[in-house]
Structure 1
Amino acid sequence: MPHFDDLLSLGASISRYPLEGYREKCDTSVVLGTRFAKKPIELKIPVTIAGMSFGALSGPAKEALGRGATLAGTSTTTGDGGMTNEERGHSEKLVYQYLPSRYGMNPDDLRRADAIEVVVGQGAKPGGGGMLLGQKITERVARMRNLPIGIDQRSACRHPDWTGPDDLEIKILETAARSPTGKSRSISRSAAPGPITTPRWRSRPGADVVVLDGMQGGTAATQDVFIEHVGQPTLACIRPAVKALQDLGMHRKVQLVVSGGIRSGADVAKALALGADAVAIGTAALIALGENDPKWAAEYDTLGTTADAYDDWHEGKDPAGITTQDPELMKRFDPIEGARKLRNFLAVMTLECQTIARACGKSHVHNLEPEDLCSLTLEAAAMAGVPLAGTSWIPGQGGF
């Protein structure tokens, strides 16, 4: 499957000087919600934390995500299952996901959010609902979702009360009506194959941010046939989304956040060069917290896997204590240490992205552009709309 690794940054050209790393500034800040929101979300880095539910993740893991993101100057997202006090209490900027399942949907939590994301689809399972297996449905998880303890909980594949843009506009106005007086930030909504965001706490409905979620990722909350055979690679989604926003005259006015398979600062730089304003990470954040840590190698071996390949998070047996509800396993995970590791990972990702932007002569990471890229494979060239290395040719767009 073509990935960001199949794109190469060209670096500085003969017409543009690279920036000197210690003397010339390369900004990484991002503002989400510049169209309607009275209080846009201001981030220090172009990397956010994607929505992963409490239930799929443990309470300490959600706390660590909040702590780490706050230290790095970015935002977190609740995911299905509602808002935990651990995450709200340690996230300076928290996006509340409004999902089709409505699990954990709480108007009071809606008011406590810094943004609302109305999810239409998830890239790991577009058109299909997720599943949280009964072994992870503890008393607390069941209470938040208002469902029985120990019973498999399936998330709905679509919202029950709207079928198109007009219904969605009504839903946005309803959520805006619940917002607290004097507090205005951006609200999000989602669109298949991933989330779309719209502004919250303002006078007009409309999208402030689009979150585009590709097929990579997911906390194993669906069938293998969905994970492996449904959806599109993130690389193939970005340029059509940018083109759609450009056709509407909304590119850079409506921010585009890309999620799915982002693993390094190089991936961030390439996504921004293709037209994204920011990226969101999920699996990479879990690895940064300590998931798949080699110190638990013997236990991973007992589970029939290895410390560099474990992803059976749906089973609730995670030795690292991150994707489990087992109280004994959760004790192994230190949220403060996990937050420190996540902050360091986000800092490195940002520095890597800056390094590439500087090499391309850019004073802001948002100044990266498709012309700074070439493709290493025919598939990547066709999907990303970037010329094959050594040529000016994009498959399907004219002669060689």
Structure 2
Amino acid sequence: MKDAPPHDVPRTEPRQSWTFSNSVNSEIRRAAATGLYDIRGGGSKRQLPHFDDLLFLGASISRYPLEGYREKCGTGVTLGTRYAKRPIELKIPVTIAGMSFGSLSAHAKEALGRGASAAGTSTTTGDGGMTEEERGHSDKLVYQVLPSRYGMNPDDLRRADAIEIVVGQGAKPGGGGMLLGQKITERVAGMRTLPVGIDQRSACRHPDWTGPDDLEIKILEIREITGWEKPIYVKIGGARPYYDTTLAVKAGADVVVLDGMQGGTAATQDVFIEHVGQPILACIRPAVQALQDMGMHREVQLIVSGGIRNGADVAKALALGADAVAIGTAALVALGDNDPVWEEEYRKLGTRAGAYDDWQEGRDPAGITTQDPVLMKHLDPLAGGRRLHNYLSVLTLEAQTIARACGHNHVHNLEPEDLCALTVEAAAMARVPLAGTSWIPGQSGY
């Protein structure tokens, strides 16, 4: 037997298992103690290939840049040009994604409408129907038709400026959402025809159709109800973007909305958010390829969402072939969600600013993801609308700056050739060359 090492020999620093990390072990202990799966809001928190893994190739000699203070760079986009009698004209290529009343407070919905209208863009209802706060303050409002059909009625379909049929969502493709009883007030219950204070779960699929042929019938029904005036969007989660985009277009969609797994949700199982779907970076080019293969690129518009944070993200999505982007989580942050000004209150909830995701509990001190009348007063809709307008303006200016630097007089003239990738994974997903090479992983001929 060997002698034991002397006490003065330094010990190796204990190592934490990467597989069984502190957060993983904490979840195992929580599951063992409760027997319940974890529910939360937000999007995926794992590190994923994203727009940060792409860089623009600004103009020098081979490209001629535009002068930012003298030469214009357009940002407008028209959505619904395929069949709709009244397509939507937006001043900027950034829209507000669907977030429901019930999940959000009435003040938050009003603030979203105010900010979007001031910026010249649209907002979207989300599940649970249309509120007067949002309709009254939204110049352009997209009305979502979800599997739950909560709050849906033909009159509101006609009052909307566009209709979005939600087939899937990036945070939970193939799954439904949740709204816990503490957020189902009399008003929310009345709009959704639900009992007050009782948990509800949204369905994962539409009750009256099972495939693309039925979707085509549903689109035609909605067109008849709305007199063929409104653009019809179809929203899909980022799972099988090539085939889902193809089928949505064949069913008659004017616009396809593609949502990646970084996109948020009001509440669903954590295991869904982290383990189902694909990053938006992996979804854009297959969807664009589907549109190109059908000769429909730019005729059917593509909106992408899931982790859009700044003007560079907007520009990169457009360069990869999107017509516009949608923001959800970023819009809530702009309103004041997870703001350190509420740090003390977040600590009382057992979390901290920047990490708060228990939106389903309705105790948001920022007054955004709550139905509590006292907490709701923490959000001033006018101030929130101004902040959102400012944020949307910055996104647009940043995207314009990048487009000019690449020699383009419209943000839609950005193209994949303006990009390179920092990682092999991003190069393969975005189908642009790895930086410093001409190599696009996975493509033949290299």
What TM-score, normalized to structure 1? 0.95
The offset of 1:205, in angstroms, is 7.1
Amino acid in the other structure paired with 2:127: D
Q: In the aligned structure 1, how far is the partner of 2:319 from the partner of 2:415?
A: 4
Name the structure 2 match of 1:101: 148
The offset of 1:185, in angstroms, is 2.9
| Kept after mapping to 2: 8 A contact 1:193/1:212 | yes
The percent identity for this pair of structures is: 81
| Structure 1 unaligned blocks of 5 or more | 198-203
Q: Match of 1:190, SS?
A: strand
For residues 350-371 of structure 1, the C-alpha deviation after alignment (integer angstroms, 9 at most, x for no partner) is 0000010000000000000000
Name the structure 2 match of 1:251: 297
Name the structure 1 match of 2:177: 130
| Kept after mapping to 1: 8 A contact 2:219/2:253 | no
Pick from 62, 65, 82 the counterpart of residue 18 of structure 1: 65
Name the structure 1 match of 2:326: 280
For residues 291-336 of structure 1, the C-alpha deviation after alignment (integer angstroms, 9 at most, x for no partner) is 1122111101111222222222111110000000011000111000
Q: Match of 2:252, SS?
A: coil
Change (3 A) 1:399 1:35: closer
Q: In the aligned structure 1, how far is the partner of 2:251 from the partner of 2:289?
A: 22
Pick from 221, 229, 233 the counterpart of residue 184 of structure 1: 229
Matched, 1:227 2:304: no
The offset of 1:120, in angstroms, is 0.5
Name the structure 2 match of 1:201: none
Pick from 99, 102, 113 the counterpart of residue 55 of structure 1: 102
Q: In the aligned structure 2, how far is the partner of 1:34 from the partner of 1:63?
A: 28
Pick from 282, 294, 297 the counterpart of residue 340 of structure 2: 294
Q: Match of 2:219, SS?
A: helix
Amino acid in the other structure paired with 2:122: S
Name the structure 1 match of 2:436: 390
Amino acid in the other structure paired with 1:163: T
Name the structure 2 match of 1:172: 219
Report how many aligned residue pairs link the two structures.
393
The offset of 1:217, in angstroms, is 2.4
Name the structure 2 match of 1:323: 369
| Kept after mapping to 2: 8 A contact 1:56/1:219 | no
Q: In the aligned structure 2, how far is the partner of 1:303 from the partner of 1:382?
A: 42
| Structure 2 unaligned blocks of 5 or more | 1-47
Name the structure 2 match of 1:65: 112
Q: In the aligned structure 2, how far is the partner of 1:220 from the partner of 1:6?
A: 27
Q: Match of 1:97, SS?
A: strand
Pick from 373, 395, 405 the counterpart of residue 359 of structure 1: 405
Amino acid in the other structure paired with 2:335: L
| Kept after mapping to 1: 8 A contact 2:238/2:279 | no
Q: In the aligned structure 2, how far is the partner of 1:190 from the partner of 1:333?
A: 29
The offset of 1:13, in angstroms, is 4.5
Q: In the aligned structure 1, how far is the partner of 2:60 from the partner of 2:314?
A: 21
What TM-score, normalized to structure 2? 0.85
Q: Match of 2:343, SS?
A: helix
The offset of 1:398, in angstroms, is 4.2
Q: Match of 1:102, SS?
A: coil
Mean Cα deviation higher: 294-303 or 283-292: 294-303
Q: In the aligned structure 1, how far is the partner of 2:121 from the partner of 2:142?
A: 11
Change (3 A) 1:192 1:294: closer
Matched, 1:268 2:314: yes
| Kept after mapping to 2: 8 A contact 1:39/1:186 | yes
Q: In the aligned structure 1, how far is the partner of 2:214 from the partner of 2:251?
A: 12
Where has structure 1 moved over 6 Å in runs of 4 or more? 194-197
Matched, 1:80 2:165: no
Mean Cα deviation higher: 11-20 or 235-244: 11-20
| Kept after mapping to 2: 8 A contact 1:393/1:399 | no
Name the structure 1 match of 2:86: 39
| Kept after mapping to 2: 8 A contact 1:31/1:41 | yes
Output the aligned Cα RMSD: 1.8
